[in-house]
């Protein structure tokens, strides 16, 4: 660990004069060779700098700094120790003399680490905190509990770790494929682990030194199968995945857990999850139905809201604030809760419109479990494509109502670990994209130019320091068809749909399959059209023409439930009524796979109408263009 700390402490970007990540507010270059080792002076809390920054919001005032680097050494002005610390992070990236005046755009700049799906130990976590601090990330959200494993010691409920922290299957996928079986500590088939309270205290000490707040997340009421395995009395019935809000035993357990979590973590926020609760058991559970009747609750959404509001009162009574995923908006939001918006941006917009604080973490820009380069060359991801440039393009203020800055706290990158079994793979997915999120949170929008060059240098030094980051020099880039499009006989021709697309993935609706615009590496980029039924379309070429080829490209991403068709059929007609089948193209790809597969066939015929039919296997299938030549 000491080797990593010393390497990070000496990181110096050696190419251009000013190439900091995140980009500062203002830089004034000067002549000379800098001395980065000798501190000439530091003034923390000086009246002159306090006056200069007086108009800033309180959080920006606290983190503001002015750094001057000369041939003789460097000087720092700051209002607080935080500002001084951030000046030193910038100093490590200086190459020439000059003055940097800087402060953050947003107060919350976060990263979420999932230690449930695959356990990460304290040394790995502390190593990541060092890198996060170098780009001024100041919030570290720990996803400590989920179905795949409970990862924090709770003295009052020891079975959470003796049983809930251990499963059958080294990887999450093996555990899933094996029927989600749990084990117990010390068993021959047990895989997992957990952080002791001593481990947590070491992590917290490192985070405090790095001016990072560690936010614990205890999932409720969903994602709780491991909790119910350890303590079955808090489930509705056998096989339940959600905690039972109808039973007082559930609240007794949750409050006992949170008492120890609150005692351990100084964070002002306690994250309670609140996402993706199934709720179907609640409709049949007599305890839940009795609770709904007693409390006058109209539906199971309000029952979840009852649980969240009750836990918020407990958390508030202990001097902390509740933070949860945007599902906590459903059924009525707790009065003082803060929303973390992940299902797009609407949850954040709704929260700030209601006067609640929000942290933006929409999947399109902030979910780092997506592959970051061409999926055909990358380790398997979970649900699409997100390059470092796309992550950097996000603006949390986009679409926000007037006055949103009062409640929009900032931005967070999330790295879920279902498909990431090793520490090396986790770092590979984390860097350099978390640096893009960091700049979104810290830098003013007009200061973000030149990011690609700056982040490449930062990332090169991270790799030299022993991190397994994705190498930007070897990036393949976006799908060529996405960048270049395609020209063919059916371009701009009308399309009749015998089965409509799924309303969640309309792309360009009727124009999609003949507009010459191809999808990229992500099914959610607005160019891929999604179907849960057969694809059955007829293209009118508007005149009889010689046809030599018909084909279309499909996605396969098993993680989010996207599969290839089992077969594709091509039919031709001169009059639009009498069709002749000219080809059947079988699926010859072994699944599961992560690929982009062309189903195409040569044709020798003349026709005006082309019918293209794809038969699904299961789940979604996505198509971006039917090419006719």
Across residues 471-476, what is the average pLDDT?
97
pLDDT of residue 592: 64
Residue 397 confidence (pLDDT) above 70? yes
Across residues 282-286, what is the average pLDDT?
95
* DSSP secondary structure of 513-556: GGSSPPP-S-TTSSSSEEESS-EEEEEEEEEEEEEEEEEEEEEE
Residue 4 confidence (pLDDT) above 90? no
pLDDT tens per residue, range 192-250? 999 999 999 999 999 999 999 999 999 999 999 999 999 999 999 888 899 999 999 99
Residue 15 confidence (pLDDT) above 50? no
pLDDT of residue 591: 66
pLDDT of residue 594: 74
pTM: 0.93
d(CA 422, CA 119): 9
In degrees, rounded to 5, the angle at the alpha carbon of residue 77 between the alpha carbons of residues 73 and 83 is: 110
d(CA 375, CA 398): 29
Residue 485 is encoded by which pair of tokens? 């499009």
pLDDT of residue 557: 86
pLDDT of residue 10: 42
d(CA 613, CA 25): 55
* C-alpha 153, offset from chain centre: 26
Residue 159 confidence (pLDDT) above 80? yes
- Enzyme catalytic residues: 146, 223, 276
Residue 25 confidence (pLDDT) above 60? yes
pLDDT of residue 156: 98
Residue 85 confidence (pLDDT) above 80? yes
d(CA 458, CA 469): 11
How confident is the prediction for the chain on average, in pLDDT? 94
3-state secondary structure of 586: strand
pLDDT tens per residue, range 583-620? 999 998 876 677 889 999 999 999 999 999 999 989 99
Residue 113 confidence (pLDDT) above 50? yes
Residue 491 is encoded by which pair of tokens? 């371009």
- Choose between 528 and 332: higher pLDDT: 528
Q: What spatial distance separates the first Cα and last Cα of the chain, rounded to whole Å?
A: 60
Give the C-alpha distances (Å, rounded to integers) separating 225 from 21, 181, 219, 289: 40, 10, 10, 21
Per-residue pLDDT band for 7 (boundaries 50, 70, 90) equals: very low
Per-residue pLDDT band for 16 (boundaries 50, 70, 90) equals: very low
Bridge partners of 607? 545
d(CA 396, CA 393): 10
pLDDT tens per residue, range 41-50? 999 999 999 9
d(CA 303, CA 313): 16
Q: Which residue stretches of 92-224 are H helix?
A: 122-134, 159-162, 172-177, 197-209
pLDDT of residue 136: 98
**Positive or negative, the Cα torsion across 37, 41, 46, 50?**
negative
Per-residue pLDDT band for 14 (boundaries 50, 70, 90) equals: very low
Strand pairing report for 213-220 and 139-143: parallel
- Do residues 610 and 550 lie in contact, with contact meaning Cβ atoms separated by under 8 Å? yes
Bridge partners of 586? 567
Per-residue pLDDT band for 381 (boundaries 50, 70, 90) equals: confident
pLDDT of residue 238: 83
pLDDT of residue 3: 45
pLDDT tens per residue, range 423-454? 999 999 999 999 999 999 999 999 999 999 99
**Positive or negative, the Cα torsion across 213, 214, 219, 220?**
negative
pLDDT of residue 160: 98
pLDDT tens per residue, range 408-425? 999 999 999 999 999 999
pLDDT of residue 18: 67
pLDDT of residue 598: 95
- Do residues 538 and 495 lie in contact, with contact meaning Cβ atoms separated by under 8 Å? yes
Strand pairing report for 567-573 and 621-628: unpaired
d(CA 65, CA 82): 9
Which residue from 144, 111, 218 is spatially nearest to 437, judged by alpha carbons?
111
d(CA 143, CA 218): 7
Domains identified in the chain and CATH numbers: 26-102 (3.30.379.10), 480-628 (2.60.120.260)
3-state secondary structure of 191: strand
pLDDT of residue 551: 98
Per-residue pLDDT band for 559 (boundaries 50, 70, 90) equals: confident
Most confident range (mean pLDDT) of 4-18, 378-392, 534-548 is 534-548
């Amino acid at each position: 660990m000491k080797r990593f700390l010393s390497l990070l402490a000496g990181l110096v970007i050696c190419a251009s004069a000013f190439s900091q990540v995140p980009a500062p507010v203002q830089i004034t270059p000067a002549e000379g060779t800098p001395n980065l080792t000798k501190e000439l002076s530091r003034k923390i809390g000086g009246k002159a700098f306090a006056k200069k920054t007086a108009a800033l919001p309180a959080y920006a005032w606290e983190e503001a700094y002015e750094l001057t680097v000369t041939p003789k050494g460097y000087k720092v002005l700051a209002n607080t120790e935080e500002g001084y610390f951030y000046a030193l992070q910038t100093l490590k990236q200086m190459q020439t003399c000059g003055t940097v005046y800087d402060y953050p755009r947003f107060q919350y700049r976060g990263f979420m680490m999932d230690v449930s799906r695959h356990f990460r130990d304290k040394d790995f976590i502390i190593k990541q905190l060092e890198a996060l601090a170098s780009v001024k990330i100041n919030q570290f959200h720990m996803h400590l509990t989920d179905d795949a494993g409970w990862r924090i010691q709770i003295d009052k409920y020891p079975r959470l770790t003796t049983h809930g922290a251990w499963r059958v299957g080294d990887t999450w996928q093996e555990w899933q494929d094996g029927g989600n079986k749990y084990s117990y500590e010390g068993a021959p088939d047990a895989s997992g682990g957990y952080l002791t309270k001593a481990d947590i205290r070491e992590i917290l000490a490192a985070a405090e030194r790095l001016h990072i707040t560690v936010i614990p997340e205890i999932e409720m009421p969903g994602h709780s199968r491991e909790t119910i395995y350890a303590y079955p009395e808090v489930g509705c019935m056998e096989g339940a995945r959600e905690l039972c809000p109808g039973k007082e035993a559930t609240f007794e357990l949750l409050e006992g857990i949170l008492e120890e979590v609150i005692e351990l973590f100084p964070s002002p926020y306690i994250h309670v999850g609140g996402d993706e609760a199934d709720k179907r058991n609640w409709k049949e559970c007599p305890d839940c139905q009795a609770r709904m009747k007693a409390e006058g609750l109209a539906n199971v959404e309000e029952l979840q809201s009852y649980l969240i509001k009750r836990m918020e009162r407990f958390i508030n009574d202990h001097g902390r604030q509740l933070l949860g995923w945007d599902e906590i908006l459903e059924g009525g939001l707790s009065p003082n809760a803060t929303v973390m918006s992940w299902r797009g941006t609407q949850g954040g917009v709704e929260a700030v419109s209601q006067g609640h604080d929000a942290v933006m973490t929409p999947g399109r820009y902030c979910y780092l479990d997506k592959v970051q380069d061409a999926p055909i060359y990358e380790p398997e991801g979970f649900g699409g494509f997100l390059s470092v440039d796309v992550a950097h393009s996000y603006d949390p203020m986009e679409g926000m109502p007037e006055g949103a800055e009062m409640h929009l706290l900032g931005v967070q990158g999330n790295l879920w670990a279902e498909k990431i079994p090793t520490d090396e793979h986790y770092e590979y997915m984390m860097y350099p994209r978390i640096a893009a999120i960091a700049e979104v949170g810290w830098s003013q929008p007009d200061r973000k130019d030149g990011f690609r060059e700056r982040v490449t240098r930062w990332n090169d030094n991270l790799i030299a320091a022993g991190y397994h980051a994705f190498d930007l020099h070897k990036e393949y880039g976006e799908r060529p068809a996405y960048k270049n499009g395609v020209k063919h006989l059916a371009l701009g021709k009308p399309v009749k749909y015998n089965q409509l697309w799924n309303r969640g993935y309309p792309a360009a609706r009727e124009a999609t399959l003949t507009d010459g615009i191809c999808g990229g590496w992500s099914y959610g980029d607005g160019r891929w059209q999604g179907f849960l039924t057969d694809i059955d379309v007829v293209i009118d070429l508007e005149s009889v023409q010689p046809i030599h080829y018909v084909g279309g490209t499909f996605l396969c991403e098993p993680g989010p439930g996207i599969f290839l068709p089992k077969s594709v059929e091509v039919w031709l007609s001169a009059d639009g009524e009498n069709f002749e089948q000219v080809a059947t193209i079988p699926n010859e790809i072994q699944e599961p796979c992560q690929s982009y597969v062309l189903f195409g066939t040569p044709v020798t015929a003349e026709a005006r109408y082309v019918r293209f039919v794809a038969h699904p296997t299961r789940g979604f299938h996505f198509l971006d263009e039917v090419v006719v030549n």
